[in-house]
Amino acid sequence: MRPAVAGSSYLAACRGETPSHTPVWFQRQAGRSLPEYRELRHGKTFDQMIQDPMVAAEVTLQPVRRHGVDAAIFFSDIITSVSALCPGISIEPNRGPVIEDPFRTRADVSRLQGFDPVVHVPYVIEAVQRAVVELDTLGVPLIGFAGAPFTVATYLVEGGKSKEFEHTKTLMHGDPETWFALLDALADIAVMTLRAQVTAGASAVQLFDSWAGILSKAEYREFVLPATAKVFAGLADLGVPRVHFGVGTGELLGLMKEAGADAVGVDFRVSLTDARARVGSATPLQGNLDPTIALCAPTVVANAVSRVLDDAAVAGGTHIFNLGHGVLPQTDPAILTSIVAQVHRSTSRA
């Protein structure tokens, strides 16, 4: 396991300590907005990039070199571990995960047995090891990455992306025994995936629950929280910060903290002051500039960044600056670099 990166503002913030400045990183910073990423991707599929350790490590490192962010996020996909275990799952251009044979019965759940990161995703382990070699020289920690059981389940049950999630909710409410077995199996896979990344060198982990925002608080508590809590509990002995992020989850933030997260990501739909009231004073918050703002003129972006920082100051507690979702592909990289510089300059405690 990699020792904690000395002096990391990101890790200090995740622990609720006072960092030398507010740390910055961007969700989806590794990839599509960078010209060097597009050049590297030419002639390759997304799956090929993930499965090539040299390429995945390079993509992970690119935004650190360009923007000077305070943390790297491992380049992967929330479906990577499951697709390596189960044939017929792929990531298609402009479609995302596609599942040829959706998971809708108890028998389907048995297809998720036997996952072993060393056997099924050795390229993930090697890519992490390669990335941290350079990150160590830069003093930048690596964030491990996995999809939360609920969000991965939605893809498996729906057969891909969905707008209504009708198959997911039908299974969840109509056959809870199968639903809980599915999420329990996915929780085990998430734990093994993240533990392997930490063992290989990741200094923190983030669990992405992209579609949890479709749920009511009652649904989340009954049908999702137990599996998510199992993931965080399965990482507790590693001693690394555990971050939880979801989209449209403003009403669920308290429950996401209850699941066992050390820090909670906040999307752009809820203020940091409101988020603070929902998770308590001691929990570090991550967020939450609207990604579309980064498409605006530099002065507009700078003003919006200042508003987020002001909101964080009013909210109190520890803050990690990020977007309230992922970097949009058409974002000018220079804008992201300027955001990092502004946050560092505005919050320096030197």
- Residue tagged active-site, from 10, 123, 155, 220: 155
Kindly state the greatest CA–CA separation across the chain.
59
Please confirm, yes or no, whether 65 is among the known catalytic residues. no
CA–CA distance, 55 with 78 (Å, rounded to integer)? 18
Inter-CA distances, 199 with 39, 194, 232, 281, Å:
31, 9, 16, 31
Which residues are CB-contacts of 116 (< 8 A; sequence separation ≥ 6)?
192
Query: Is 32 a catalytic site residue?
Result: yes
Active-site residue (options: 37, 66, 77, 220)? 77
37 is catalytic: no
77 is catalytic: yes
Instruction: Write the DSSP assignment of 137-178 as a string of letters.
Output: HHT--EEEEEE-HHHHHHHHHHTS--SS-HHHHHHHHH-HHH
* Pairs from 280-285 (Cβ < 8 Å, separation ≥ 24): 281/316, 281/317, 282/16, 282/317, 283/16, 283/257, 283/317, 284/13, 284/14, 284/15, 284/16, 284/317, 284/318, 284/319, 284/320, 285/312, 285/315, 285/317, 285/318, 285/319, 285/320
Q: What's the rounded Cα separation, in Å, for the pair 192 and 20?
A: 33
Residue with tokens 């200094």: 203
SS3 261: coil
- Asked if 91 and 97 touch (Cβ cutoff 8 Å), the reply is yes
Give the active site residue among 15, 41, 111, 269.
Answer: 41
Peptide bond preceding 303: is omega within 30 degrees of 0, i.e. cis?
no
Alpha carbons within 13 angstroms on the beta-carbon side of residue 92 total: 11
- Tokens representing residue 158 in the block: 């729906």
Spatial distance between the Cα atoms of 123 and 129, rounded to a whole number of angstroms: 10
The one catalytic residue among 28, 104, 195, 242: 28
In whole angstroms, give the CA distance from residue 143 to residue 104.
Answer: 32
In the residue annotation, 28 being an active-site residue is answered as: yes
The catalytic site residues sit at 28, 32, 41, 77, 155
